[in-house]
Amino acid sequence: MDTYLIRGGTRLSGEVKISGAKNAALPIIVGSLLADGETVLDNVPDLKDIHTIIQVIRCLGAECDFDTAANRLTIKVNSIKNAEVPYELVKTMRASIYVMGPLLARIGQADVSLPGGCAIGERPVDIHLTGFEALGTTISLEHGYIKARAGRLNGMQFKMRGISVGATANIMMAAVLARGKTVLENCAREPDVVDLGNFLVKMGAKISGLGSDLIEIEGVKRLEPVSYSIIPDRIEAGTYLIAGAATKGEITVKSAIPEHIVACMDALKDMGFVVDSGADRVSVKTSHKLSGTLVKTLPYPGFPTDLQAPMMALSATIPGINVIVETIFENRFTHVAELRRMGADITVEGNVVIVKGVEKLSSAPIMMSDLRAGAALVIAGLIAEGETEIRRIYHCDRGYERLENKLSVLGADIRRVKGGGL
């Protein structure tokens, strides 16, 4: 398995172009199943998770051609030939559950392996399933598989028990071809959900209220395939801004949407960093007045849970006390032990973490446990004294396109060692 070797201490500087958003591309790629014909998607990031979701829709009958150099994905759908997504695929990526919406909408049947828990939490899918039941689906669980059956779905009024990105997207994809009107309450407002909604509207769906907590969908008989370009990845943009700040450097992320990363920009400003933004770019540079702050993860437009770990790595060497509160996932502190191995002073009390800024971190062999924890360890390696070896970097390959290349362009001393570790 590949590893990273990072020699810390370089102040990052320069510009980095942000790729398309993983968490928008995944449901949009699945959403293409809602219409027969050819869908062309641009700005699709070349990530492991994207290749997995392509495998998933291929096993349902879609033909896919992914031009990774051009970040263009062409999908041909000529009827859905299969309704089952095997355990082998779902266990590698929970987002495979997104196929349930389009399958139920198109053929009234979906057999999808029930996703298990993951490193960051139990992550049930009950809201997805109760939403489908409210649309008229019968759901059973057999041998680890969700068996969903329905005639034509019927519009309904449904208040989600909790704010869920995945459930909002999945139920929306089912409701676009249902009979009558669906009113969804307590919806997720994430830009990824809005991007999916805009894609569906371009296909001919009737949806209003995207970006608010109340979405209304008027079902239509059929949708048409379209060409569409995926929004930039706000989590990738935030990660680079945080990395730039952590190394006390000066960087600019470009081809980004500043409105999507306001919470991250505000947190950096609260710490004393100088943050500026333009039409499609955000820059950060250090100042002499840095101090700790409070960060609480919340659904959008609050501070994203996916930037909690990178923010903790940054906090490790910021003078004073930093408090981080994780409210979305119950087990998203797996990076704490690794950061402590590098000398960070971190105390965990339930879902609250107190980070006392230390003078410096020192290099150590460390290991990624999930995608965003992995990004935190890369940032820690960039600021640590000495050379840090990071294992299980396949976690980062799931969600950061060409990470080591982009960091090298910003001046980082990072290299991937093929087959370097266990």
205 binds ligand EPZ (CB under 6 A): no
Classified as helix, coil or strand, 152 is coil
The four Cα atoms 81, 85, 88, 89 give a dihedral, to 10 degrees, of 100
Edge to edge, the sheet with strand 145-149 lists 84-85, 109-113, 145-149, 138-142
19 binds ligand EPZ (CB under 6 A): no
CA distance 226 to 203: 6
Strand pairing category for 13-17 and 250-254: parallel
Strand pairing category for 84-85 and 72-77: unpaired
88 binds ligand EPZ (CB under 6 A): no
- The nearest distance, CB 17 to ligand EPZ, in angstroms, is 19
Q: Which of 30, 57, 153, 165 binds ligand EPZ (CB under 6 A)?
A: 165
189 binds ligand EPZ (CB under 6 A): no
List C-alpha distances in Å: 312 to 301, 338, 347, 357. 20, 12, 12, 10
* Of residues 160 and 346, the one with the C-beta less far from ligand EPZ: 160
CA distance 299 to 58: 32
Residue carrying structure tokens 């230390």: 358
Q: Which of 12, 16, 18, 26 binds ligand EPZ (CB under 6 A)?
A: 26
CA distance 225 to 100: 19
* Of residues 18 and 188, the one with the C-beta less far from ligand EPZ: 188
* Positions in 359-378 near ligand EPZ (CB under 6 A): 371-372
CA distance 172 to 22: 19
Q: Which of 399, 400, 401, 406 binds ligand EPZ (CB under 6 A)?
A: 399
How many residues sit in the footprint of ligand EPZ (CB under 6 A)? Answer: 25
Q: Which residue is nearest to ligand EPZ (CB)?
A: 166
Q: Which stretch, 8-16, 21-29, 151-159, 410-418, contacts ligand EPZ (CB under 6 A)?
A: 21-29
CA distance 355 to 308: 12
CA distance 213 to 269: 28
Q: Which of 127, 200, 257, 382 binds ligand EPZ (CB under 6 A)?
A: 127
- Cβ neighbours for 259, distance < 8 A, ≥ 6 positions apart: none
DSSP labels for 318-379?
Answer: SSSEEEEE--S-TT--TTHHHHHHTT-EEEEETTEEEEE--S--B---EE--SHHHHHHHHH
137 binds ligand EPZ (CB under 6 A): no
90 binds ligand EPZ (CB under 6 A): no
150 binds ligand EPZ (CB under 6 A): no
Q: Which stretch, 78-86, 126-134, 260-268, 383-391, contacts ligand EPZ (CB under 6 A)?
A: 126-134
- The nearest distance, CB 397 to ligand EPZ, in angstroms, is 13
* Of residues 32 and 164, the one with the C-beta less far from ligand EPZ: 164
Q: Which of 195, 233, 236, 306 binds ligand EPZ (CB under 6 A)?
A: 306
Tokens read off for 186: 């307590």
CA distance 166 to 306: 15
- The nearest distance, CB 188 to ligand EPZ, in angstroms, is 6
118 is catalytic: yes
Q: Which of 4, 145, 199, 329 binds ligand EPZ (CB under 6 A)?
A: 329
382 binds ligand EPZ (CB under 6 A): no
124 binds ligand EPZ (CB under 6 A): yes
Of 64, 118, 264, 396, which is the active-site residue? 118
**Which residues are known catalytic residues?**
118
Residues that bind ligand EPZ (CB under 6 A): 22-23, 26, 95, 121, 123-128, 162, 164-167, 188, 192, 305-306, 328-329, 371-372, 399
